[in-house]
């Protein structure tokens, strides 16, 4: 019996895999690079079932990478406290996506969700990563980038007036609240990404389709161009899944072959570890 987790700062999806089947659970997210140990310890104690006693735990999470060695070590310690008899593995969410998407193959693994990330995966590990830089300097291809471009179109009124009016009615936002959320809010990137569903709902509009395509053009031009063009591309995340057809179309125009798009990597991770029990 083993436990697999795919975590961001907002939510964490868990799968307890046993001979009898798979039990799934969602808890609050765990990101040791930005969250306190006491908070994460409470989540592990209160939101995971008390009866689970896995032989191994594989945790893939935001903030767990070579760039954050202390955070990764902290996550390993907390999981060891919670599951003292289990073997503990802690890896980045990017490696998790790569294993889920390519297994032992190779390619460019991408995460397109609230933020974005990417990496050249050689079937064993991430051998190159173009820094995503976050929603201010980067995060091309992400929900935050779509939300940012949508707000520019609405606030500068470069989108059609009826579409701008519909946006204000649907979201209940106004100029002052938008500026407050972006510049003074607790989670600006999540606020921006929360607007991406409006774009998905109206993707049939030429103006919205062009806007989203521009976001994916930026991802291809500034991120994917840094990797070998012969490698296949695969993507995980809510934005990748919601705009999958347009993502494939845009990347094809940049000479990129998209091998797979999935909403979440957990099923792929279960399959990956099932062959390595």
- In this structure, are residues 141 and 112 in contact, taking their beta carbons and an 8 Å threshold? yes
Domains of the chain (ranges plus CATH)?
Answer: 2-103+265-274 (3.30.420.40), 137-213 (1.10.720.160)
CA–CA separation, 220 and 275 (whole Å) = 33
Mean pLDDT in residue range 55-76: 90
- In this structure, are residues 52 and 66 in contact, taking their beta carbons and an 8 Å threshold? no
Please write the tens of the pLDDT for every residue from 185-216: 888 988 999 999 999 999 999 999 999 999 99
- In this structure, are residues 144 and 114 in contact, taking their beta carbons and an 8 Å threshold? yes
1 pLDDT above the threshold of 90: no
Identify the bridge partners of residue 59 per DSSP, sorted by sequence position. 5, 90
Strands (E), 1-134: 2-7, 11-18, 21-28, 56-61, 87-92, 107-112, 116-121, 126-128
Please write the tens of the pLDDT for every residue from 104-145: 899 999 999 988 999 999 999 999 999 888 888 889 999 999
Task: With 0.85 as the threshold, say if the pTM is over it.
Answer: yes
Least confident of 59-68, 69-78, 213-222: 59-68
Q: Is 8 helix (H, G, I), strand (E, B) or coil?
A: coil
Return the closest-CA partner of residue 13 out of 240, 198, 187, 238.
238
Please write the tens of the pLDDT for every residue from 136-189: 888 999 999 999 999 999 999 999 999 999 999 999 999 999 999 999 988 898
Calculate the alpha carbon distances from 48 to 5, 8, 27, 42, 83 in Å: 11, 16, 7, 10, 11
């Amino acid at each position: 019996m083993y436990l697999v987790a795919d975590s961001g700062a907002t939510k964490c999806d868990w799968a307890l895999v046993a001979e009898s089947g798979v039990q799934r659970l969602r808890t609050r997210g765990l990101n040791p690079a930005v969250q306190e140990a006491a908070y994460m310890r409470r989540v592990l104690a209160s939101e995971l079932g008390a009866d689970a006693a896995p032989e191994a735990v594989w945790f893939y999470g935001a903030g767990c990478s070579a760039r954050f060695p202390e955070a990764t070590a902290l996550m390993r310690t907390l999981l060891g406290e919670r599951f003292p008899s289990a073997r503990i593995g802690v890896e980045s969410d990017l490696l998790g996506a790569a294993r889920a998407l390519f297994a032992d193959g190779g390619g460019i693994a991408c995460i397109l969700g609230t933020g974005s990330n990417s990496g050249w995966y050689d079937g064993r590990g991430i051998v190159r990563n173009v820094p995503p830089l976050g929603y201010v300097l980067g995060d091309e291809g992400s929900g935050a980038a779509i939300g940012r471009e949508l707000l520019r179109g609405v606030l500068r009124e470069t989108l059609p007036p009826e579409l701008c009016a519909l946006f204000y009615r649907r979201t209940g936002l106004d100029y002052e609240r938008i500026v407050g959320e972006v510049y003074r809010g607790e989670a600006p990137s999540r606020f921006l990404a929360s607007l991406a569903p409006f774009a998905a709902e109206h993707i049939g509009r030429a103006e919205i389709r062009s806007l989203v395509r521009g976001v994916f053009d930026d991802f291809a031009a500034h991120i994917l161009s840094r990797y070998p063009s012969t490698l296949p591309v695969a993507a995980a995340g809510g934005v990748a899944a919601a705009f999958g057809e347009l993502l494939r179309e845009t990347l094809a125009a940049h000479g990129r072959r998209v091998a797979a798009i999935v909403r979440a990597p957990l099923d792929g991770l279960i399959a990956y570890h099932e062959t390595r029990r």
